[in-house]
């Protein structure tokens, strides 16, 4: 297990390094002065420009620039957003919280719903399969930002059931319970929109893995022992079927985060996505880069966590067993 | 299923090809005073805030969406095929390096990266195609690699080696023809992904304002969501249906190839 | 131990060949350890061992599908293990494989005709007129009627027919040695007998040598002149079939021989 | 001696898209109480389907089951009555299988897997004692209880499966190719263990195998199955000495390897000169 953790952490280094280097190269490859990319079109004092030029050693060769950029990133200095009057790091971290607040519950619910759909589709063969492939195709094909729009038109504009935008009501509410309820109401539509893709992903994999686990030989052993079907499902089938599902959650976390980023701007959810859209409009490039760097790092972390969870559940991975007899 | 989805894609292709022949290139850009009209007999899909006809825009937008989808899927397919074949057949250091690269691609937030590149380097159809293809080939490469690895160990590939047939000929004539099915399946999925990605980029206002695509109309729709639902409904539905058709087609290919399905 | 009983210049001579593989998690598996043996012209040598004993790795080594980490492989008096693939091309035709899994042994996109044509084209003297040459091959392996099978795909044939087709492909280039890896393990009892008969017949008419890889001691006894017993990557005993069965020396061989005891011994 | 199991004229068909495919077309079998019976046949002869049917492990549909009579311990049962069979399963009969690795849950410690079976029959207090007793019975060291299946060798896994099967003190053990996936050395150990267990526990054994030798070593009676039918049966010795059915003969020929090989060896002049 230690070894697994170590190899995964070692693997993360080049990935994050690539993200950082891509970030660096992009600034330098933009036609014109990299300062334009760093400061944007925000009117700043020439003194400040000179300071940046000196700090990032923009008058030095590219290799030295890269080193100083890496050094800056390692210190947590991702630049300053003039539009928001805040350092990029604190801005991005702050917005990431809102994004995760949207994504986390959505992922959890989507996983459960996806598993349920998979179970149903296996239980009722013909109609279940049709239902499942409809869900899967819908989830993979629907543009999430458009789905969000349609939900707003229907539930907020026409029916007035749910709030259309933001994470909390403007007028403010009092009391923990009321705040929670208010958040929940705001969360429903974006949460659903984010979750749709994920339900499709989970349902597809879970169906295959459940079916696979059910046809495994050890199920026959369990049945031959004489234990109940319920116990067979919970103790033998489900744990084995969950392994591929866990992998796919980790593997698709990037897509889920991307989906969140796309959905947020539709619902004006104050997370990374809205920030991304605003920053692009305002040519606030350091923020865009910061979002890229942060989301890349989050995805890497989630991938490592997935592998560890997998190793925790599966003793074969834990002991480095490679299969075969 | 295969016929419906395939037919829909063919229909769209025809629209994309015929549109410039039947319409004057200015038509979708024609500004008029009839601003934000709801769908009616005169304007089936309504008009936008500049009085442009949404139907014409949607027809015109088919070209961009399809070109981006198909061309980037093709490009990604070809890159993936070559890279995957090299990786799977040569093995060793080349394989290790390629696999590490695709692993890194897998954890990249592709949309954010694409948005970043397009925002900083400037928009344009070719650039968007290049970015999408450049970011989505690893999928294909992985599929090709695993197919090549599988087939390489099969009797007929080894028998060919024992007959003294050159490695290159074995790869081209024995292995790749048998690996093509999964590549097609994954490529149609890439096409759907590319169409959605292009739509997302234009939705975020990252494509240049003088091209019309489904995503860009949708982007206008977002601004006017409360007043003009038709600006969102029609182009969005088309993006959805097109992606659906590609995904369905990909599923059909995959199912036809899956020996367990029959 | 058997050097003096072997022919002066064996067809295949494997000298202390070893190969090991690295497993996924870094552990090394020594699949073949310093193995030496020879196969003479026209001789049948059975390589007996259980799954995991390294006999399939050894077969791939002999066929130069993998190269040994150390040791030498000589074919018809020439060292081949260090040759490049290009140099190997003509030498390879001297020995041909017959695989265990007949269903994967043929390219699913080729017909019987196309598969055999491909093999014939590789031979030292490719026939000018393909069709009669292919038909002749099919008749040699008792696949009748040849003309009706030509346009079939391999998956349209029965298991036994496919295995015959595999033998036909091997014969197409006139090899002097056939390396057969468990060619009968998937076949029914009745078909086994037929294919064994066919292999023996071919040996008699063409003087081909066999390296016959099997886990089944009874088959080795029925078919081979000499037996090599492989256990955990090493050849633990080799000798003539009579020797091995009459007085096995190695403990493991004894167990194998005992396990392969004839039904009469047990039922008596 | 009463029969612990009688089955007459079993037919098992599978519905494959409207077509009925017979896996077993007509099979009859009897296992005397405390006796040992072998069932031989090649893969595809229907012998494994027969075993699964007896254990009530086939799902219906797609399987369609028919039998003239079916009785366990003299008590008549409906062949498709899974509820009744599942009550017997684990009590009256237990089963061990071919590939011991795949028949064990990879995520669960061996001890837990044995425990699951033990709990159904023994009180909470006795569970641990019983587990260690079972491990002793199959000659496994106690530490195996804390191991995962992948940490064991093939032979140990088969012993673990046997421990699970024996947890409920079955009167009949169905062994479906219990040694096929194992090394020759391990095969012999497992066969010896089966013989020992039968002697100690006095349970009946139905050994399903394609290997005539192990059937001959372990069983008193043998049934030969071919193309979904039991075509011949009788005491091992008689059948092996004078088979009446042509198929049984060819099976025996193959086991003796006397079909073509020896004959050819004799008729090939100089064939041995190279080696000898």
3-state secondary structure chain B: CHHHHHHHHHHHHHHHHHHHHHCCCCHHHCCCCCCCCCCCCCCCCCECCCCCEHHHHHHHHHHHHHHHHHHHHHHHHHHHHHHHHHHHHHCHHHHHHHHHHHHHHHHCCHHHHHHHHHHHHCCCHHHHHHHHHHHHHHHHHHHHHHHHHHHHCCHHHHHHHHCCCCHHHHHHHHHHHHHHHHHHHHHHHHHHHHHHHHHHHHHCCCCCCCCCCHHHHHHHHHHCCCCCCHHHHHHHHHHHHHHHHHHHHHHHHHHHHCHHHC
Return the CATH fold of D1-92+172-276. Rossmann fold (3.40.50)
pLDDT at site A37: 66
Facing B156 at nearest CB: one of C85, C95, C105: C105
Q: Does C197 touch chain D if contact means CB atoms closer than 8 Å?
A: yes
Q: Residue A254 and residue B103: Cβ atoms within 8 Å? A: no
Mean pLDDT, residues A194-210: 91
Closest by CA to C216, choosing from C247, C183, C239, is C183
Pairing verdict, β D19-32 and D3-16: antiparallel
CATH code at A139?
Answer: 1.10.3720.10
* C32 DSSP β-pair partners: C19
Q: Find chain D residues with C-beta within 8 A of C6's C-beta.
A: 274-275
Cis peptide before D62 (omega within 30 of 0): yes
Q: What is the pLDDT of residue A40?
A: 65
Q: What is the dihedral of CA D20, D24, D26, D32, to 10 degrees?
A: -150
Q: Does A287 touch chain B (CB under 8 A)?
A: no
Nearest-CA residue of chain A relative to D161? A221
Beta bridge partners of C37: C14
CB-nearest to A150 from B119, B232, B243 is B232
Question: Distance from CA of residue B79 to its chain's centroid?
Answer: 14
Q: Which of A4, A322, A325 to mutate to test the interface with C (most CBs of C within 10 A)?
A: A322
Helix (H) or strand (E) holding A41: none
- Minimum Cα–Cα distance from C40: chain D residue: D274
Once rounded to an integer, what is the mean pLDDT over residues D101-106? 88
CB–CB contact B177 C90 (8 Å): no
* C24 to A322: CB separation less than 8 angstroms, yes or no: yes
Domain residues of chain C, as ranges? 12-106+175-261
Contacts with C24 from chain A: Cβ below 8 Å: 322-323
Compute the mean pLDDT over every residue in chain A, rounded to the nearest whole number. 83
Three-class DSSP category at A114: helix
Asked if C196's CB is within 8 angstroms of D259's CB, the reply is yes
Where are chain B's structural domains? Answer: 56-256
Q: Is A222 on the interface with D (CB under 8 A)?
A: yes
Distance from C-alpha of A222 to C-alpha of B207, rounded to nearest angstrom: 58
The residues pairing with C46 across neighbouring beta strands, listed in sequence order, are C212, C227
What was the pLDDT predicted at C209? 92
Chain A, nearest residue to B122 by Cα: A30
Neighbours of chain D (3+ CB pairs under 8 A): A, C
Q: Above 0.95 for ipTM, yes or no?
A: no
When CB atoms are compared, the residue of A27, A141, A254 closest to B247 is A141
Residues in C touching D257 (Cβ below 8 Å):
218-219, 221-222
Q: Which residues of A touch C25 (CB under 8 A)?
A: 320-322
Q: Which residues contact A147 (CB under 8 A, 6 or more apart)?
A: A193, A196
- Is B183 exposed, middle or buried, given 0-12, 13-18 or 19+ CB atoms closer than 10 A? buried
Task: Give strand pairing partners of A86.
Answer: A81
Spatial separation of the C-alpha atoms in residues C180 and C169, rounded to whole Å: 13
Return all residues near A21 (Cβ < 8 A) that are at least 6 apart. Answer: A66
Alpha-carbon distance of A293 to A187, in angstroms, equals: 26
Chain B residue with CA closest to C119: the answer is: B163
Confidence band, pLDDT 50/70/90 cuts, at residue D219? confident
Positive or negative CA dihedral for A117, A119, A124, A126? positive
| D103 lies within 8 A of chain A by CB | yes
- Closest approach of C57 to chain D, Cα-based (Å): 18
Cα dihedral angle (A81, A86, A89, A92), rounded to 10 degrees? -80
CATH fold, domain C12-106+175-261, is Rossmann fold (3.40.50)
- Would you kindly state where each structural domain of chain D is located, as residue ranges? 1-92+172-276, 106-169
Range scoring the smallest mean pLDDT among A220-234, B3-17, B80-94, D244-258: D244-258
Nearest chain D alpha carbon to C190: D250
Cα atoms found within 13 Å of the Cα of residue A98, Cβ hemisphere only: 23
- Cα A230 to its chain centre, rounded Å, is 34
Per the model's pLDDT, the better-predicted residue between D251 and D147 turns out to be D147
Kindly determine whether residue A216 and residue D164, on different chains, have CB atoms separated by under 8 Å.
no
Residues A40-78: pLDDT tens digits?
Answer: 666 777 777 777 777 767 777 777 888 888 888 888 877
Task: Please state which CATH class domain B56-256 belongs to.
Answer: mainly alpha
φ/ψ bin of B164: left (φ > 0), alpha (ψ from -120 to 50), beta (otherwise): left
Beta strand C95-98 with C177-181: parallel, antiparallel or unpaired? parallel
Q: Provide the pLDDT for residue D31.
A: 87
Q: Are A71 and A60 in contact (CB under 8 A)?
A: no
Contact call for residues C217 and C256 (beta carbons, < 8 A): yes
Taking the Cβ of residue C101 and every Cβ of chain D, the question of whether any pair is shorter than 8 Å is answered with: no
Specify whether the backbone of B145 is left (phi greater than 0), alpha (psi in -120 to 50) or beta: alpha
Would an 8 Å CB–CB cutoff place A312 in contact with chain D? no
CB-based contact D81:D55 (threshold 8 Å): no
Statement: residue C3 has pLDDT above 50: no
For D157-199, the pLDDT digits (tens) are 999 999 998 888 888 888 888 887 777 888 888 888 988 888 8
- Alpha-carbon distance of A105 to A325, in angstroms, equals 41
Write down the pTM of the prediction. Answer: 0.81
Q: How far apart are CA A7 and CA D120, in angstroms?
A: 43
Pick the range with the lowest mean pLDDT from B170-179, C135-144, D181-190.
D181-190
Select the more confidently predicted residue: D17 or D141: D141
φ/ψ (deg, to 5) at B63: -60, -55
Classified as helix, coil or strand, D19 is strand
How many beta-carbon pairs below 8 A join chains A and D? 83
Q: Which of C43, C189, C264 sits opposite D254 (nearest CB)?
A: C189
Three-state secondary-structure class, residue D38:
strand
D105, D61, D95: which is closest to D80 by C-alpha? D61
**How far does the CA of residue D271 sit from the closest CA of chain C (Å)?**
7
> A185 is in which domain, residue-wise?
2-321
């Amino acid at each position: 297990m230690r070894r697994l953790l170590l190899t995964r952490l070692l693997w993360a280094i080049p990935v994050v390094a690539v993200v950082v280097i891509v970030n660096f190269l992009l600034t330098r490859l933009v036609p014109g002065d990299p300062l334009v990319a760093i400061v944007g079109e925000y009117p700043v004092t020439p003194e400040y420009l000179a300071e940046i030029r000196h700090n990032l050693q923009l008058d030095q060769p590219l290799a030295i620039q890269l080193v100083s950029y890496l050094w800056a990133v390692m210190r947590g200095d991702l630049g300053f957003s003039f539009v928001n009057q805040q350092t990029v790091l604190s801005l991005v971290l702050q917005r990431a919280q809102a994004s995760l607040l949207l994504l986390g519950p959505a992922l959890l619910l989507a996983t459960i719903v996806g598993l349920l759909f998979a179970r149903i589709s296996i239980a009722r063969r013909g109609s279940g399969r049709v239902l499942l492939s409809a869900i899967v195709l819908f989830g993979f094909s629907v543009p999430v930002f458009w789905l969000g729009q349609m939900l707003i038109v229907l539930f907020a504009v026409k029916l007035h059931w749910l709030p259309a935008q933001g994470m909390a009501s403007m007028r403010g509410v009092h009391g923990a319970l009321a705040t929670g309820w208010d958040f929940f109401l705001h969360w429903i539509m974006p949460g659903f929109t984010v979750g749709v893709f994920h339900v499709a992903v989970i349902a597809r994999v879970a169906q295959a893995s459940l079916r696979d686990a059910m046809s495994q030989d050890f199920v026959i052993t369990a049945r031959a022992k004489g234990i109940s079907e319920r116990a067979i499902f919970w103790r033998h089938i489900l744990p084995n079927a969950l392994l591929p599902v866990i992998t796919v959650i980790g593997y698709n976390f990037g897509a889920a985060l991307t989906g969140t980023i796309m959905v947020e701007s539709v619902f004006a959810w104050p997370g990374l996505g809205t920030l991304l859209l605003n920053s692009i409009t305002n040519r606030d490039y350091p923020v865009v880069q910061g979002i890229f760097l942060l989301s890349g790092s989050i995805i890497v972390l989630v991938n490592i966590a997935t592998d560890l969870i997998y190793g925790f559940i599966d003793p074969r991975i834990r002991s480095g067993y490679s299969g075969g007899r | 299923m295969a016929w419906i989805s395939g037919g829909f894609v063919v229909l769209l292709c025809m629209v994309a090809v015929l549109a410039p022949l039947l319409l004057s290139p200015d038509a979708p850009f024609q500004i008029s005073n009839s601003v934000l009209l709801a769908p009616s007999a005169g304007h089936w899909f309504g008009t936008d805030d500049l009085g442009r006809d949404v139907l014409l825009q949607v027809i015109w937008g088919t070209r961009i969406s399809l070109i981006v989808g198909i061309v980037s899927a093709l490009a990604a397919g070809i890159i993936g095929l070559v890279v995957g074949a090299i990786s799977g057949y040569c093995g060793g250091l080349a394989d290790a390096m390629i696999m590490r690269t695709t692993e890194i691609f897998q954890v990249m937030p592709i949309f954010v990266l694409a948005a970043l590149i397009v925002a900083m380097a400037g928009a344009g159809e070719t650039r968007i195609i290049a970015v999408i293809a450049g970011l989505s080939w690893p999928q294909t490469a992985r599929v090709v690699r695993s197919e090549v690895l599988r087939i390489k160990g099969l009797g007929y590939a080894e028998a060919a080696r024992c007959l003294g047939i050159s490695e290159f000929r074995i790869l081209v004539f024995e292995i790749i023809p048998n690996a093509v099915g999964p590549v097609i399946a994954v490529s149609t999925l890439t096409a759907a992904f590319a169409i959605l990605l292009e739509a997302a980029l234009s939705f975020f206002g990252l494509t240049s304002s003088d091209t019309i695509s489904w995503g860009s109309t949708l982007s206008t729709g977002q601004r006017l969501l409360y007043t003009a639902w038709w600006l969102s409904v029609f182009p969005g539905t088309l993006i959805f249906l097109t992606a659906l058709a590609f995904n369905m087609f990909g599923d059909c290919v995959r199912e036809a190839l899956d020996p367990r399905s029959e | 131990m058997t050097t003096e009983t072997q022919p002066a210049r064996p067809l295949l001579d494997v000298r202390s060949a070893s190969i090991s593989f690295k497993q996924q998690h870094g552990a090394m598996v020594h699949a073949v350890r310093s193995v030496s043996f020879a196969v003479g012209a026209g001789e049948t040598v059975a390589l007996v061992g259980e799954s995991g004993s390294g006999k399939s790795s050894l077969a791939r080594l002999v066929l130069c599908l993998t190269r040994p980490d150390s040791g030498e492989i000589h074919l018809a008096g020439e060292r081949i293990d260090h040759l490049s693939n290009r140099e190997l091309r003509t030498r390879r035709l001297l020995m041909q494989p017959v695989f265990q899994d007949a269903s994967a042994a043929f390219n699913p996109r080729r017909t019987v005709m196309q598969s055999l044509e491909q093999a014939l084209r590789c031979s030292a003297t490719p026939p000018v007129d393909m069709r009669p040459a292919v038909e002749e091959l099919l008749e040699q392996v008792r696949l009748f009627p040849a003309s009706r099978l030509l346009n079939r795909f391999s998956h349209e044939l029965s298991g036994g027919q496919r295995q015959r087709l595999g033998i036909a492909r091997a014969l197409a280039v006139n090899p002097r040695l056939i390396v057969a890896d468990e060619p009968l393990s998937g076949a029914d009892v009745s078909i086994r007998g037929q294919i064994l008969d066919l292999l023996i017949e071919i040996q008699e008419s063409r003087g081909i040598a066999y390296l016959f890889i099997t886990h089944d001691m009874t088959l080795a006894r029925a078919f081979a002149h000499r037996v090599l017993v492989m256990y955990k990557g090493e050849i633990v005993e080799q000798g003539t079939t009579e020797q091995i069965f009459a007085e096995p020396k190695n403990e493991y061989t004894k167990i194998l021989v005992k396990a392969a005891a004839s039904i009469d011994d047990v039922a008596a | 001696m009463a029969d612990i199991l009688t089955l007459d004229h079993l037919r098992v068909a599978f519905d494959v898209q409207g077509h009925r495919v017979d896996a077993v077309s007509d099979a009859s079998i009897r296992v005397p109480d405390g006796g040992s019976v072998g069932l031989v046949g090649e893969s595809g002869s229907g012998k494994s389907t027969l075993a699964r049917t007896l254990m009530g492990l086939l799902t219906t549909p797609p399987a369609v089951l028919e039998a003239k009579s079916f009785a366990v311990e003299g008590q008549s049962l409906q062949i498709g009555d899974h509820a009744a069979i599942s009550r017997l399963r684990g009590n009256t009969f237990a089963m061990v299988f071919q590939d011991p690795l795949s028949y064990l849950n990879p995520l669960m410690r061996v001890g837990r897997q044995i425990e699951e079976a033990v709990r159904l029959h023994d009180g909470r207090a006795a569970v641990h004692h019983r587990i260690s007793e079972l491990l002793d019975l199959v000659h496994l060291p106690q530490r195996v209880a804390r191991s995962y299946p992948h940490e064991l060798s093939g032979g140990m896994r088969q012993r673990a499966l046997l421990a699970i099967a024996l947890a409920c003190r079955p009167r009949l053990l169905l062994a479906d190719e219990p040694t096929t996936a194992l090394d020759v050395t391990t095969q012999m150990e497992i066969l010896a263990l089966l013989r020992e267990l039968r002697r100690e526990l006095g349970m009946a054994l139905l050994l399903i195998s394609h290997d005539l030798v192990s059937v001959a070593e372990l069983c008193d009676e043998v049934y030969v199955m071919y193309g979904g039918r039991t075509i011949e049966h009788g005491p091992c010795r008689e059948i092996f000495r004078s088979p009446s059915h042509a198929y049984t003969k060819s099976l025996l020929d193959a086991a003796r390897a006397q079909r073509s090989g020896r004959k050819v060896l004799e008729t090939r002049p100089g064939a041995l000169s190279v080696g000898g």
